[in-house]
């Protein structure tokens, strides 16, 4: 019987076939740092790392980027965080502008980012980090924002195909962070067709900004994602179950990049959850019941952590033991 090809090699082959000959292949992963980045989120990173290595083994050059979506709004506050009342004042503002409740970093976003960035090299994972707050504040996406605003009708039609309640005619695929109250409780009321938008905020403020000079105009998530595929020329990016549902953000992103840029979406791979045996129930960042990569490394050697993820296909759920079964995992590894 022929030996089955290893899943990461299979994906590498698919990438080369679908994306054609390229000087360099771009493999991407990313997350909004809104709660502790846990071992389930790590699955996305290690999936990309394994595929990037498979591409390199096939003689290809690879750029592995990890996007910190820290310019996203603070939606809710994880229940396990201290200083809940202080944090509540920052709801609706960029996570990067939210103070660090542990008081050891410049922001809450940075606290979460550094926590993961410290651990990744221990398991041999070294991506190039991209901080979206920096990209937006230096107006890196001005041309892309213009393209998307000009294509707002096309985008609205794509998104409405999957919505129960259609987006209204005066909808725009972007929002501004208010210069006065800092939140995104705003609505674009006018677009000049080029680089200038006028917004009105719930707080009463109204302003006209040129988004080549002002980084406070941000694309909506479902538009932001395909825009960045285009901007970074992404060839491969996996996604969690929540993005992979029919009509989900992956589906609409695929249609948007085709319609707006006439480009094909990157090769995709859905990855399933990681269950922690001994934790009792599902991991959840919002209630703070999680196991991080750092926690896992207190139990397992780095090479065993890599082996646990590498030996299961991404589409399959698997569990990591934190109870007496740990010894069995060690035994299996050294067999």
Please report, as ranges, the residues that interact with Zn ion according to CB under 5 A: 100, 102, 104-105, 111, 178, 180-181, 201, 203, 205
Q: Which is nearer to Zn ion, 106 or 311 (CB)?
A: 106
Least distance to Zn ion from the beta carbon of 80, Å? 14
Instruction: Indicate the residue among 178 and 291 with the shorter CB distance to Zn ion.
Output: 178
Asked if 111 contacts 104 with a C-beta cutoff of 8 angstroms, the reply is yes
> Helix/strand/coil (H, E, C) string of the chain?
CCCCCCHHHHHHHHHHHHHCCCCCEEEEEEECCCCCCCHHHHHHHHHHHHHHHHHHHCCCCEEEEEEECCCCECCCCCCCCCCHHHHHCCCCCEHHHCCCCCCCCCCHHHHHHHHHHHHHHHHCCCCEEEEHHHHHHCCCCHHHHHHHHHCHHHHHHHHHCCCCCCCCCCCCCEEECCCCCCCCCEEEEEECCCCEEEEEECCCCEEEEECCCCCCEEECHHHHHHHHHHHHCCCECCEEHHHCCCCCHHHHHHHHHHHHHCCCCCECCEECCEEEECCCCCCECCCCECCCHHHHHHHCCHHHHHHHHHCCCCCCCEEEECCCCHHHHHHHHHC
To Zn ion, the closest distance from the beta carbon of 188 in angstroms equals: 13
Q: Give the residue with the Cβ less far from Zn ion, 118 or 163.
A: 118
Q: Given the complex with Zn ion, which of 201 and 274 has the nearer CB atom?
A: 201
In this structure, the chain runs to a length of 335
As a dihedral over the C-alpha atoms of residue 206, residue 212, residue 214, residue 216, rounded to 10 degrees, the angle is 80
CB of 82 vs Zn ion, minimal distance in Å: 11
Residue 105 CB, nearest distance to Zn ion (Å)?
Answer: 4
Q: Between 200 and 259, name the residue whose CB sits nearer to Zn ion.
A: 200
Shortest spacing between CB 205 and Zn ion, in angstroms: 5
* Closer by beta carbon to Zn ion, 199 or else 225: 199
Nearer to Zn ion, 100 or 272 (CB): 100
CB 70 within 8 A of CB 33: yes
Closest to Zn ion by CB, 207 vs 232, is 207
Give the nearest distance from C-beta 18 to Zn ion in angstroms: 41
In angstroms, what is the minimal distance from the CB of 240 to Zn ion?
A: 26
Shortest reach from residue 38's CB to Zn ion, in Å? 17
């Amino acid at each position: 019987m022929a030996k089955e090809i290893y899943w990461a090699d299979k994906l590498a082959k698919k990438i080369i076939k679908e994306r054609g000959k390229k000087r360099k292949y771009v493999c991407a992963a990313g997350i909004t740092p809104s709660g502790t980045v846990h071992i389930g989120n790590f699955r996305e990173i290690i999936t990309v790392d394994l595929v990037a290595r498979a591409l390199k083994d096939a003689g290809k050059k690879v750029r592995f980027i990890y996007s910190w979506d820290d310019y996203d709004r603070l939606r809710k506050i994880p229940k396990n965080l201290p200083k809940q009342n202080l944090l509540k004042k920052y709801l609706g503002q960029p996570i990067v502008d939210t103070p660090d409740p542990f008081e050891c970093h410049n922001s809450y976003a940075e606290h979460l980012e550094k926590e993961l960035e410290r651990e990744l090299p221990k398991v041999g994972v070294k991506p190039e980090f991209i901080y979206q707050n920096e990209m937006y504040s230096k107006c890196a996406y001005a041309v892309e924002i213009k393209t998307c605003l000009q294509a707002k009708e096309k985008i609205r039609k794509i998104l409405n195909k999957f919505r129960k309640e259609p987006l209204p005619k005066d909808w725009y695929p972007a929002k501004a962070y208010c210069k006065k109250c800092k939140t995104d409780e705003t609505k674009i009321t006018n677009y000049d067709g080029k680089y200038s938008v006028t917004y009105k905020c719930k707080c009463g403020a109204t302003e006209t900004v040129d988004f080549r000079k002002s980084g406070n105009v941000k694309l909506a998530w479902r538009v932001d994602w395909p825009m960045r595929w285009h901007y970074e020329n992404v060839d491969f990016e996996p996604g969690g179950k929540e993005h992979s549902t029919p009509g989900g953000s992956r589906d609409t992103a695929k249609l948007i990049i085709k319609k707006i840029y006439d480009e094909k979406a990157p090769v995709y791979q859905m990855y399933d959850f990681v269950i922690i045996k001994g934790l009792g129930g599902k991991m959840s960042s919002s209630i703070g019941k999680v196991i991080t990569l750092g926690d896992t490394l207190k139990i397992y050697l780095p090479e065993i952590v890599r082996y646990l993820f590498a030996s299961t296909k991404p589409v399959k759920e698997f569990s990591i033991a934190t109870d007496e079964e740990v010894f069995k995992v060690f035994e299996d590894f050294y067999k």
